[in-house]
Amino acid sequence: MEFLSTILMADPQGKGGTGFSFIFMGLMILVFWLFMIRPQAKKAKEQKSFINDLKKGDKVVTIAGIHGTINKINEDGTLSLEVSPGSYIKIEKSTISLEWSAAINKTVAETK
């Protein structure tokens, strides 16, 4: 405890305010967490939930921009995507884009 109080009170330049710099550093870390780390973690959680909820017949868009309909979900983390009638490609589940798939499904829902 004495070491901590020595660090907080020590001032190499002879001016007060070292404790203030620790508080300022803590506030910077808090702001960084609030505006950078927390939203990114939330987005990653939504993407994982979206990937786990995929089912046969869903219209999706990959991160490469390939549009298709899910034909089969495999146990090895891949799925069979029908890109045109009778044409199938095997892709990883992680390549499905949440934003683009949501946008294409929103457009399809609006036209109905």
Contact criterion met (CB below 8 Å) for 96 and 48: no
Q: What is the pTM of this model?
A: 0.64
- What rounded mean pLDDT belongs to the chain? 84
Model confidence at 12: pLDDT above 80 = no
Question: Does residue 73 sit in the same domain as residue 95?
Answer: yes
Domain containing 87 — which CATH number? Answer: 2.30.30
Asked, for residue 13, whether it belongs to a domain, the answer is no
Structural domain count of the chain: 2
60 CB-side CA count, 13 A: 29
Q: Once rounded to an integer, what is the mean pLDDT over residues 18-45? A: 86
pLDDT surpassing 70 at residue 34: yes
Choose the final residue of a domain: 29, 53, 77. 53
